[in-house]
Chains A and B, each alone.
Chain A
Amino acid sequence: MNSYAKIFANCWHTNEKPCAHFVDCINDGQKCHQSAETRKHLDAYKHEILLEDHKKPVILVGMGTCGLANGANHVHAAILAELEKLHLQVQVIPTGCVGYCSMEVIVDIKLPGHPRLCYCRVKPEDVPLLLQKTLVEKSVVAEKLLGIYPAVDGNNGWGELPLLSQVPFFAKQKKQVLVNCGVIDPESIDQYLARGGYKGLSKAINKMTPSEVVKEMIASGLRGRGGGGFPTGKKWEFALNQQAEQKYIVCNADEGDPGAFMDRAVMESDPHRVIEGMVIGAYAIGASEGYIYCRAEYPLAIRRLEKTIADAKAYGLLGKNILGSGFSFNLKIKKGAGAFVCGEETALLHSIEGKRGMPRPRPPFPAVSGLFGKPTVINNVETFANVPNVLRDGAASYAAIGTAGSKGTKIFALSGKISNTGLVEVPMGVSLREVVFDIGGGCPNNKKFKAVQIGGPSGGALPEQVIDTPIDYENLKTVGAMMGSGGLVVMDETTCMVDVAKYFMTFIQSESCGKCIPCREGTKRLLEILERLTASYRSEKTPDEALLRFQGMVYMERLSEVIQNTSLCGLGQTAANPVMSTLRYFRDEYEAHLYDRKCPAGLCRELLTYHIDTEKCTGCTVCARKCPQNAILGEKQKAHYIIDEKCIRCDQCRANCKFDAIFVE
């Protein structure tokens, strides 16, 4: 196997033998040695790993977590077995996630002299046909084709085929951070380098002082992508201005927000980008040590990051004396132990220190007194992944994209009741409508769109009348949501908004760390109010309890405001957002639950009544046997009957009825 390590054998670059020009050599041709042979090798190798000029066919299998969940490892095994059978010399590379999760498993095939093909929804049983047609007969299997990549060497061996970038899911996206995801081999540092990787770092370390890097970051207008949207450059400036013998930089990769997975995808598919961003940040503030605080639930991301750190160290891009500048930086991975509140920066720091992850009041801000009492900068994965672009292309070019207050692009994780689930990267300022309908393809099964939940448990649900709002930090706050980390969960007419609010309250209430009373007690009380709204009349034993239900509704808004205004940390201050936004836009649904004791979406089980259609029931007794409450009576081959008082609305009978004889009101 060829590698940059081999090509640069006589001027090889490590921390012991540093050279400032290492990255420039790869990108702009050799700087020091005028050896024609090395130059030839360098060019040839670059063309080879960019798949511009290669001898053997290459197959790339999308093996991120969503690929694996759809069976990518079985497809990978089937490909290897089939290649053995066909006696073909083909390179098979596991790659990351291209973002189109509903089309997984994605298999790309690149033949020499042909543009790269992207096949989708590949199953192990499709593999023989796919390989036979493409590799042997050199023809395209049209029904599995998603699109093709642009021809890299000018000759399009396939003829007219749709470009991948014209597929509706990709057409409106602008990939800046995700550009390498699903395209390169995430475990190959050479592939990252060949695509301009570490150029931003090289420029920062060789040509700029730390304060110039910070100025560049401020000029770029990049804001924290973790939720709050604090300007990254400003944060770095605070830390740079602190005098301390030790400073830290921390990457928040504790993506606990249910329904968000963009950080995971970036770490799995393009981990070097995150590391490069962190080294630039460390250089800018003068940190010599850093931590990546990653969820333990992301084993693949952790494994990739470990390899990435080792590779970057071996190339002298991390560790002592980076690129011969005298600047040293060490990076460690800390596994989170599963606490949503650890996404809050002071709680995260406590967790790294080995304590319970509980927030503390600020100031002092971490930039002044953070990890082990030293100045610390904390940014999330996506923020760091943006940094290399800012340095490489310059602040002006970065700031050209986006709106007045929010620059660059934002990655969203689209999921829920939507046709095209996956990761999308769009410029700031596009509307939610474009993301949900043009990119996401709207709700499947002809269901009517009801709302989109943005920002996870800290955000809000937005109805159709406001989804034309251009996405940026300020606009989203105005309509009662927030950017959050970027989870977009789409809901259709069969989703009950009171149930959604109850779901988020259950989550927040169990994740509240318990330190401050408004969050600990307030969220519990809010949850109780919502539970009363969705509970059956039968659980109300006395008239007082019915009154409590009404009283809760009256107090709900005031309680939400108290939680918002008096909680200690971001988790508590935003905890009531799901309730407030659903109250603001879907009050009618709350009222239907409160007064009519009905759930318009037919989802809140306790408010439903189950009946058996005596015409359709054949008396097969399946429902009676499945009922955990023995609430169904009837003789064999005669219509059955449900005793409403006993029924707990578990839906087992309806789910198991083969004759559609059970209906609800």
Chain B
Amino acid sequence: MELQQVYQKYPKNDPSILIPILQDIQEVCGYLSEDELHHVAEHTKLPVSRVFGVATFYNQFRLRPLGKHVIRVCRGTACHVKGSADILTTVENELGIKAGGTTKDLQFSIETVACIGACSIAPVITIDDEFHGGLTVKAVQKLIAAMKNNKE
């Protein structure tokens, strides 16, 4: 879907479409740029502050582009009691960035999620939407090393 089509899909001047339109824009662009927030404000006839308020309230929205590969670390309760804090630290150390950050070469991003619902194979991470469960610190190091090699 093109950006133009997203705006055509939603009626003008209707404040209740704010969240769906932001979701669709993020789907197309990967993130919400300042320009698009202004466009949405114009489209919905809402103040930009209100659009910005919504975009920063919800966890789903990003105001910066993501890396090419996204690693999501589940921080659900089941994963936590099975040691996902260590898994997160390992991913952070291996990539040299913190959760929520992106590497300088725009290759990798780390995100944390409240629960992906795959509690049976905790602790679990997803790499580009592929699940990896039952992880140990060593297994994560191997996974990330393999990813880095693939890149090169």
Contacts and interface: CB of A to CB of B under 8 A. Distances in A.
B18 to A, nearest CB: 4
Contact of B131 (A69, A340, A628): A69
A415 B119 contact: yes
Nearest to B112: A510
B43 interface: no
Interface residues of B, number: 43
Contacts of B114: 256, 258, 338, 340, 507, 511
Interface stretch (A200-208, A350-358, A609-617): A350-358
Contacts of A372: 16
Given A337-B23, A416-B82, A503-B80, A354 B17 contact: yes
A651 B57 CA distance: 34
Interface string A86-124: 000000000000000110100000000000000000000
A258 B54 contact: no
Contacts of A354: 15-19, 44, 54
A650 B119 CA distance: 24
Chain A CB count within 10 A is highest, among B18, B75, B77, B114, for B77
A487 interface: yes
Contacts, number: 142
B47 to A, nearest CB: 12
A338 B60 contact: yes
Given A335-B20, A339-B58, A357-B57, A655 B115 contact: no
A11 to B, nearest CB: 38
B80 A296 contact: no
Contacts of A264: 117
A101 B77 contact: no
Contacts of B53: 356
A200 to B, nearest CB: 28
Chain A CB count within 10 A is highest, among B89, B121, B122, for B121
A139 B124 CA distance: 36
B95 to A, nearest CB: 12
B137 interface: yes
Contacts of A504: 77
A261 B118 CA distance: 8
A656 B133 CA distance: 20
Contact of A257 (B17, B57, B115, B131): B115
A491 B60 CA distance: 30
A500 interface: yes
Nearest to B117: A261
Contacts of B17: 354
Please provide the 10 A-B residue pairs with the shortest distance between their CB atoms, ordered closest to farther.
Answer: A101-B120, A337-B58, A415-B119, A338-B59, A259-B77, A415-B78, A354-B18, A258-B76, A258-B115, A69-B118
Interface of B: 15-20, 22-23, 44, 53-54, 57-61, 75-78, 80-82, 86, 89-90, 93, 113-122, 124, 131, 133, 136-138
